[in-house]
Homo-oligomer: A and B are copies of this chain.
């Protein structure tokens, strides 16, 4: 029996990555495909302690319904943390979401009418593309280089795009490219957004995982008109299983997110919010992040060094100063989806880059994740990948 679905359902596809992850769940596969944090670093012992404490102190409250906005002490701590990237806000600018993915879905719901155009980096985050597509938009991809979006190209696109609705960017260790925007580009993006009266969605799941150099100010730091909406998450700096993220915006804009959250799931888990709040009180999250960074930096170095040694000439890849991914450009005639099929035969996996371009093309690219694989297997995996590439040259 065929039910009569909404038109938008024609636009919604399964995330290629999540479908892929299911296929390669065998332990023998060396996977550079997911965007998973390293589970061996999760604060399991601390979680045991803080869960016991929050249940002992206020058991009835932490298991009860809470407000849609989120637990105020946690919102306050997040507001304070925003100062690290030059954003001065109070808890009234913070909504707790179920991961930052939920902030992306809400963004689509709040801003997009069918036929609207999302301006994004080329390539861009697949999960955002899929979330926005559900609201029947199309995409205009802006060319990027090592400093982020090329602003002249952005302006050219905006001049000819009538229904541009917002600009979506991941300025720090971008997913999938691993690149970080320069400070100058951040400033200029805000200027252009002001000129065209467009909101900027600043998606920043990885910014705190910087292995070297100084963290640049957020794009929202340069926001003079309350048009930058910052999406954050604890999935990469604490643990993803609790599903805790936040949206930071001007109160008037945030009110829309709160309204949408009310209808979407009432609120984020009360106990998860209390647990994170307790963790932030008892432990030093930044100290914990230092541990994560040390491990990921070693893995990045090892991956890039092995690629340098093993990959044939003519293959380009980015140097991420932090985050979880590097981005590989193969010679034009190599299709990464075909490469993946051959790689899986050798028990190695990655995500073909084509999925990250909403308008298609770029099939000679791939995204490699280094956070979720131990050092030995990184070396073995890259060597095997190099072999498969050589076979296809």
How many Å lie between the Cα of A131 and that of B265 in the bound state?
A: 9
Counted per complex, copies of this chain come to: 2
Distance of A316 from chain B, by nearest CB (Å): 30
Using an 8 Å CB-CB cutoff, how does the interface string of A1-24 with B read, 1 for contact, 0 for none?
A: 101111111001111001000100
Closest to A245 in B: B265
Q: Is A67 an interface residue (CB 8 A)?
A: yes
Residues B65 and A241 in contact, CB atoms below 8 Å apart: yes
Known: A55-B47, A68-B18, A241-B270. A264 touches B262 (CB 8 A): no
Chain B residues contacting A134 (CB-CB under 8 Å) are: 109, 260, 263
Using an 8 Å CB-CB cutoff, how does the interface string of A175-211 with B read, 1 for contact, 0 for none?
A: 0000000000000000000000101000000000000
Chain B residues contacting A12 (CB-CB under 8 Å) are: 256, 259-260, 263
Q: Is A243 an interface residue (CB 8 A)?
A: yes
Residues A130 and B9 in contact, CB atoms below 8 Å apart: no
Residues B98 and A6 in contact, CB atoms below 8 Å apart: no
Q: Is A56 an interface residue (CB 8 A)?
A: yes
Residues A131 and B99 in contact, CB atoms below 8 Å apart: no
Q: Is A80 an interface residue (CB 8 A)?
A: no
Chain A stretch 1-53: residues in CB contact (< 8 A) with chain B: 1, 3-9, 12-15, 18, 22, 34, 36-37, 39-40, 42, 44, 47-48, 51-52
Known: A6-B113, A102-B265, A105-B263. A60 touches B48 (CB 8 A): no
Q: Is A239 an interface residue (CB 8 A)?
A: yes
Contact of A241 (CB < 8 Å), options: B14, B22, B271: B271
Using an 8 Å CB-CB cutoff, how does the interface string of A62-75 with B read, 1 for contact, 0 for none?
A: 11111110000000
Q: Is A266 an interface residue (CB 8 A)?
A: yes
Chain A stretch 78-132: residues in CB contact (< 8 A) with chain B: 97-99, 101-102, 104-105, 109-113, 116, 127, 130-131
Chain A stretch 224-259: residues in CB contact (< 8 A) with chain B: 225-227, 235, 239-243, 253, 256, 259
Q: Is A367 an interface residue (CB 8 A)?
A: no
Contact of A240 (CB < 8 Å), options: B4, B63, B199, B241: B63
How many Å lie between the Cα of A67 and that of B104 in the bound state?
A: 19
Distance of A234 from chain B, by nearest CB (Å): 11
Closest to A104 in B: B263
Closest to A131 in B: B263
Contact of A264 (CB < 8 Å), options: B7, B8, B18, B264: B264
Residues A63 and B36 in contact, CB atoms below 8 Å apart: no
How many Å lie between the Cα of A241 and that of B256 in the bound state?
A: 23
Chain B residues contacting A48 (CB-CB under 8 Å) are: 51-52, 55-56, 59
Residues A264 and B102 in contact, CB atoms below 8 Å apart: yes
Q: Is A308 an interface residue (CB 8 A)?
A: no
Chain B residues contacting A4 (CB-CB under 8 Å) are: 111, 165, 197
Chain B residues contacting A112 (CB-CB under 8 Å) are: 6
How many Å lie between the Cα of A270 and that of B256 in the bound state?
A: 28
Q: 8 shortest A-B CB distances, which residue pairs?
A: A44-B59, A241-B270, A39-B60, A63-B239, A63-B241, A131-B263, A42-B63, A102-B265
Known: A15-B262, A99-B265. 17 other contacts (CB 8 A): A1-B225, A5-B256, A9-B259, A36-B64, A39-B60, A39-B61, A39-B63, A47-B55, A62-B241, A65-B241, A99-B266, A101-B263, A104-B263, A131-B264, A241-B270, A265-B265, A272-B272
Report 12 cross-chain contacts, Cβ distance below 8 Å, ordered by A residue: A6-B111, A8-B109, A12-B256, A12-B259, A12-B263, A18-B266, A36-B64, A98-B98, A240-B270, A242-B270, A242-B271, A264-B264
